[in-house]
């Protein structure tokens, strides 16, 4: 290939990458480079997961305010989450796998991926432990957080995205399900019934099955409503 041919190829590439060009009158015009499907998918997943993680972090902060004390388990100095929370490869992979299993009922790659990531994002409620202050552990591991997350996520990302809303709630159940399974015979405690009960509820043994089934039902229901909405729109 000639140098002239090389320069033309380079010029074409630069033309696609440069964000501005000059119009006939010399003014700058913004050139919108068309987004690919993969970039749109990546943006959706990162934005949704980031907001969900931020929401879990924000929700965990209510445990430091005495005004909510009577509705929550007693706060205490929990410790560094990297030390006391037992984070491991098994822990991370297990939550992702359980989430992916639940996500398959949505029949959509974007929601399958979200369902795998949200249970990990939920553990952002442990970040408060780095502040080395008295707090209530695992506040995001509760029905209340799951319910609150649904309208917030649907408002922030998609107002009629029923599958996103369903995954937001189901991810709490999916996460708890694997935590129970991983804890084995010792079981695991969660503030799952706040504010109705300010006690940590011990879950153990086969309890993980019920939570996983509930998560599957919620995601399937959200998918059903999403499909019906799509069909009505097309009519």
Q: Domain locations in the chain?
A: 36-234
Token pair of 61, please? 């902060």
Mean predicted confidence (pLDDT) in 87-98 = 91
What's the pLDDT at 165?
A: 96
Comparing 215 with 32, the larger pLDDT belongs to: 215
Question: Which is higher by pLDDT, 87 or 144?
Answer: 144
Length of the chain: 235
CA distance 174 to 52: 15
* Range with lowest mean pLDDT among 17-21, 97-101, 165-169, 183-187: 17-21
Confidence (pLDDT) at 193: 96
Average pLDDT over residues 217-222: 96
* % of the chain at pLDDT higher than 70: 82
What is the structure's pLDDT at 1? Answer: 47
What is the spatial distance between Cα 163 and Cα 228, in angstroms, rounded to a whole number? 12
Q: Residue 56, exposed/middle/buried by CB under 10 A (0-12, 13-18, 19+)?
A: buried
pLDDT for the residue numbered 9? 55
Nearest partner of 171 among 120, 137, 217, judged by Cα:
120
Of 180, 174, 182, give the one whose Cα is nearest residue 202.
180
The pLDDT tens digits for 7-54 are 555 455 445 544 444 444 545 554 454 568 888 899 999 999 999 999
Parallel, antiparallel, or unpaired for β 76-77 and 134-135? antiparallel
What is the distance between the alpha carbons of residues 123 and 156, in angstroms, rounded to a whole number?
A: 20
Average pLDDT, the chain: 86
The pLDDT of residue 8: 59
pLDDT of residue 228: 83
The percentage of the chain sitting over the pLDDT mark of 90, rounded to a whole number, equals 62
For residues 12 and 146, give the distance between their C-alpha atoms in angstroms, rounded to a whole number. 50
For the entire predicted model, the pTM comes to: 0.82
Tens digits of per-residue pLDDT, 113-166? 999 999 999 999 999 988 888 999 999 999 999 999 999 999 999 778 999 999
């Amino acid at each position: 290939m000639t140098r002239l041919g090389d320069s033309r190829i380079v010029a074409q590439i630069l033309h696609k990458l440069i964000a501005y060009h000059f119009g006939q009158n010399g003014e700058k015009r913004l050139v919108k480079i068309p987004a690919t499907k993969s970039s749109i998918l990546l943006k959706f997943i990162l934005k949704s997961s980031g907001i969900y993680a931020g929401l879990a972090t924000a929700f965990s902060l209510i445990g430091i305010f005495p005004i909510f004390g009577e509705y929550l388990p007693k706060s205490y100095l929990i410790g560094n989450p990297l030390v006391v929370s037992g984070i491991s490869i098994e822990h991370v992979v297990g939550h992702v796998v359980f989430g992916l299993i639940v996500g398959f009922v949505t029949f959509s790659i974007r929601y399958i991926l979200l369902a795998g990531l949200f249970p990990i994002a939920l553990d952002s409620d442990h970040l408060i432990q780095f502040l080395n202050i008295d707090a209530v552990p695992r506040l995001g591991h509760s029905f209340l957080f799951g319910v609150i997350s649904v309208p917030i996520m649907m408002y922030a990302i998609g107002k009629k995205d029923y599958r996103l809303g369903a995954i937001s709630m189901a991810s709490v159940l999916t996460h708890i399900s694997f935590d129970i399974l991983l804890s084995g015979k010792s079981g695991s405690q969660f503030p799952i019934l706040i504010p109705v009960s300010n006690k940590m509820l011990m879950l153990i043994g086969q309890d993980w099955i019920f939570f996983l089934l509930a998560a599957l039902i919620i995601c399937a229901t959200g998918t059903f409503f999403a499909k019906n909405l799509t069909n009505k729109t097309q009519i």
